[in-house]
Amino acid sequence: MTIPRHDELFRPLLELATKQDLTRRMATEAMSDAFQLNAEERSRRLPSGSATYIGNRTGWAMTFLTKGRLIEKVARSTYRATPSGRAFLAAHPKTITVKDLEAIDGWDEAWKSTRVRSAESGEDKAVELVESPAEAIDSAVEQLHAALRAKVLDSILAQTPEFFEQLVLDVLVRMGYGGSRDEAAVRLGRSGDEGIDGRINQDPLGLDQILVQAKRYKPDLLIDRKTIQAFIGSLAGQGVSKGIFITTSSFQSSAREFVQRGANTKVVLLDGNALVDLMMRHHVGVRVQRTIELLDLDQNYFEDEE
């Protein structure tokens, strides 16, 4: 069962509110049961991790019903259907849509705080409330990150192989491997042993080492099993049991399957997408353009919830 959109929750929530008083937690559990969500769907969280999808959408649907004066707060964190809510439910026996709510007298006035000024016309304009604000923010951030991933990968491919080796070094050092950059630089790209590009210490004393191979390939040139098999052979020849193979492209399924079957060695395969994600996470080759502070109600201060 797919997690319902917030507008699909309008009618079942209003119907439930005519039968019993609701808190948002109770409503979330009731909607999860009503739509027969499994454990994974009930616990699936927004990319920001701030809330579950079903909890966020239930709360947002209750906000819509409150703005339409179809439910009202009757006690701390507790809501109940209003007389107009009961009448509205009877008038909409099948579904309740956003357009149905927009037809309620006073709807625009209730949403005044969500209106924005159009840069083109200079006139106030209602925000299109297709998804909850939290989901809209997460979606926008993901779109920006997707565009950034593509730009980062293109920029890497435009550089020299030597630059790529240094980039790999910077990522590994930011992740905590190799001690300092200067210390790790002595090891990376200098050994020349059996095609190994780097030897990184996993601990400060160098008792546990990781061998690194870095390949700057175009996205359509996939790393095959033979290349990975040769890399694992190099690990054995160097007396090392751990390795990282990093590429700007990706790996053939046979290469990944070969690694999974390895019993004596531990090899991690990082393709272009995984590499760029690590760069973004550890701020290598990217910078913070803007920081936005998102505020929420301090329930401890008010001893209530919005």
Q: Which domain holds residue 60?
A: 6-130
Phi, psi at 82, each rounded to 5°: -90, 165
Q: Are residues 42 and 102 located together in one domain of the fold?
A: yes
- The CATH number given to whatever domain includes residue 169 is 3.40.1350.10
Same domain as 217, residue 118: no
Does one domain contain both 26 and 122? Answer: yes
On whether both 82 and 192 belong to a single domain, the answer is no
For the record, the structure tokens of 68 come out as 């339409």
Q: Say how many CA atoms lie within 13 Å of 289 toward its Cβ.
A: 7
In tens, the pLDDT along 239-267 reads 888 899 999 999 999 999 998 886 678 89
The sign of the torsion formed by the CA atoms of 115, 120, 122, 123 equals: negative
Q: Is residue 291 a part of any domain in this protein?
A: no
Going by pLDDT thresholds of 50, 70 and 90, the confidence category of residue 71 is: very high
**Per-residue model confidence (pLDDT) at position 193:** 53
Q: Is the pLDDT of residue 122 over 60?
A: no
Domains: count for the chain: 2
Look at residue 287 and tell me if it is in a domain: no
234 and 168 housed in the same domain: yes
CATH number, residue 10: 1.10.10
Interatomic CA distance for residues 193 and 197, integer angstroms: 8
66 three-state secondary structure: helix
Is 295 domain-assigned?
no
Are residue 177 and residue 244 in the same domain, yes or no?
yes
Residue 11 and residue 103 share a domain? yes
Total length of the chain: 306
Residue 301 lies in a domain: no
- Regarding pTM above 0.75, the answer is no
